[in-house]
Amino acid sequence: MLQTILDLSSLRAAYQSGLTPLDVVEEVIRRRAASKDPAIFITPTPDEDLRQAARDLMARAPDANSLPLWGVPFAVKDNIDAAGLPTTAACPAFAYQPAADSTVVARLKAAGALVIGKTNLDQFATGLNGTRSPYGAPRSVFNPDYVSGGSSSGSAVAVAAGLAAFALGTDTAGSGRVPAAFNNLVGIKPTPGLVPNVGVVPACRSIDVVTVFAATVGDGVAIRKVMEGYDAADPFSREATPARLPSSGLRVGVLEGAEREFFGNADVEALYDAAIERAKSLGVTIVPFDYAPFRQAAELLYNGPWVAERMAAVKDFIAGNAEDFDPTVRTIIEGAKAYDAVAAFEGKYRLEALRQKTRAEWHKLDILMLPTSPTTYTVEEMLADPIVKNGHFGRYTNFVNLYDHAAIAIPAGFGANGLPAGVTLIGPTFTDDALAPFADAMHRALAAGMGKDRSAALPEASRVTPLTDGLIPIVVVGAHLTGMPLNHELTGPGGVLVKTCRTAADYRLFVLPDTVPPKPGLIREPGFAGAGLEVEVWALPPAAFGQFLQKIPAPLGIGKVELDDGTVVSGFLCEAHAITGAHEVTDMGGWRAYIRSKTAS
C-alpha cells in the first residue's frame, strides 16, 4: 500500500516489500483518474504507454537497487521536452512534437524514473500564479478557491496531490518556489547553469533554471544531482565549483522594518516570524539586513529590459500568432517594445550597481531566509487584477536568478485559514549542496508535513547530512555530544555534526569515576546482546582532528566503533581495566539519558 505522498523513501520501501514499477504505475493511473483537479495535466502519458514504460524498465534493470530512481514516477512541466509527448508551453498553436528528450528528462529516464505526463503552466512560463493557461487553472490542494502558484502550477499540484514523486518546473522569477509554498512542498532552484536547459522552451534564456518539486529536501537534492552536469549544447551551462558555507555559526539574513511587506497577510507574516525563531533554536545567528538593493534588482525583471528577453524567446511566433496568446501574457511580452538596445545596457549597468550594494550586505551574512511569497490570492482575486497581484508573489523571488544565487524553498506551516506558507533559503553561487542540510533541518523543525499530508513525518532516510568533504569523521559518546560540556572542542575548530545514530548491539557503557566533567567509558563485548547506544558522528578538519586526539586523557582513546548500520568509524573507546567497579549505564541507552536521570534526581 502506497502512502499519500510518493516520496523516494516510501517508494523504495514499497519496492523492497515486493511491489513492482507496474504496481506503482497502476496506482498512479488510478489516482490520476480520480483527481478532482482537471487542470493539472496538459498531456498525461497514455495509460498503456505508462504501463509499457514500467515493463521496459523492469526488463532493462530487473534489480530495484540498480538505478537511483528505479520506478519513480515524475511529471514534467510542459515547456520541457519529453519524447512521445507534445510540448505546448500552454499555447495550443505553438505545440510541437519533440524529436528527443530534453537533457534533464533523458538523464532522469536513464536513472530509472518514469514520465507520467506533461503539466500545466502559466503560458510561456510568464507568471507566478497559475491562471494564465487555456487549459485551465490548477488549484491549491488545500482550497480550490485559491491559486496554485505558477508558472509551474501543474507540476507542484501533481506532487502535492500524490500523483507523482517529484516534478520538474522552471524558474525565472520564482516559478519553482512560489508553487512549492502554496502546496506545502520543497522547491529546489539550482544556481543558473548548474542544470542544462537543452530542450527547454526559454522564458529569459540567460537566467532560466530547471527546478524540482519534491516532498523533502533530501529527495529534491538527489533528483537535482541526477540532472546536473555540463552540457555543451546549452550556451549557459557551466562546470560547477561547489561553494561551502560555515559549518557552525551560520549567519542568516532576515527582513526588518519597512522592507517587511506582506500585503496585509498577517498569517504569512506570523509564520515567517515563527520560522525565524525556529532557526534560532537550530543555533544560527539571525542578522537583519537591508533588502533594498535586492528588491530594486527584482523590479528590473518585469519593469526593466529583461522583458525584452521574453520577446526574444517567442519573437517569430508572436509575429504571426499574437491572438493565440493569453491576454495578460501578451501584454507583458509586448512590453518589450518599450526597450531598445540602449535600455538593455542601462539595465545591465543598473543591475551591477545594485550588486555592488548587495556585497556590503553579504559581508554580514552567509545566507538569506525570506518569505517565499508574502501572500496568496483566490483565483477570482487574481483574475481581477492579474499583473499587480502577480507582482506581489515575486517580491522576494525575482532577484535570485539575476544575482546568480542558489535557493531552496521549504514549507513553513499553515495559517488560521488552513493555507500553507513557505520560506526560501538563498545562498551565493553554487552553494546548492551547502544550503541543503540547513534547509532540511528547518523543514523538519517546522513540522509542516509534505504536500497535502500536513501531518506526515519526514522520513529519516531522506535526512540531509552536512558536507564533510575533506573532513575526518569521529564517533562521540559522552561529554562531546551536542549540548554537553565539551562539545565546544568540536564546534570551535569547525566540526560538523553528521548524524545521530546508535552503535552495534554489543557495546556497553560505564560511568568513569572521578572525571570532571563526568565521562563515560565505552567498551565492546562480543556476544553481548544489547540494543546499541546512542552516539553522534562528527567530522573535523584534519588539523583539528590531530589536535583533538592529543587532548584525549587516559584511559580513553580512539579505536574503531561499529554503528548499527554496519559502518565502522573512528571513535572514543575505553581501556578495559578502567571499568572495574564502575557503574554501568548500558540499559539507559546512552550518556544523554544518564545525565538526564542525574539531573532529575
337 is catalytic: no
Q: Is-contact 93 63, C-beta < 8 A?
A: no
Catalytic residue, candidates 10, 77, 148, 153:
77
Instruction: List Cβ neighbours of 41 (8 Å cut-off, separation of 6 or more).
Output: 32, 75, 117, 118, 119, 120, 154, 158
Instruction: Give how far the C-alpha of residue 368 lies from the chain's centroid of Cα atoms, to the nearest Å.
Output: 15
Q: Is-contact 183 155, C-beta < 8 A?
A: no
151 is catalytic: yes
Beta bridge mates, 583 = 511
Beta bridge mates, 535 = 501
Distance separating the N- and C-terminal Cα atoms of the chain: 46
Question: What SS3 class is residue 75?
Answer: strand
In the numeric block, which cell numbers belong to residue 308?
Answer: 525584452
Question: What SS3 class is residue 183?
Answer: coil
Return d(Cα 295, Cα 398) in angstroms, integer: 8
Beta bridge mates, 200 = 80
Catalytic residue, candidates 9, 148, 151, 237:
151
H/E stretch holding 286: strand 285-288
Instruction: Give how far the C-alpha of residue 255 lies from the chain's centroid of Cα atoms, to the nearest Å.
Output: 21
* Burial zone of 291 (CB within 10 Å; 0-12 exposed, 13-18 middle, 19+ buried): buried
In the numeric block, which cell numbers belong to residue 300?
Answer: 528590473
Angle ∠(286,360,260) on CA atoms, nearest 5: 50
Catalytic residue, candidates 140, 155, 175, 462:
175
66 is catalytic: no
Residues marked active site are found at: 77, 151, 175
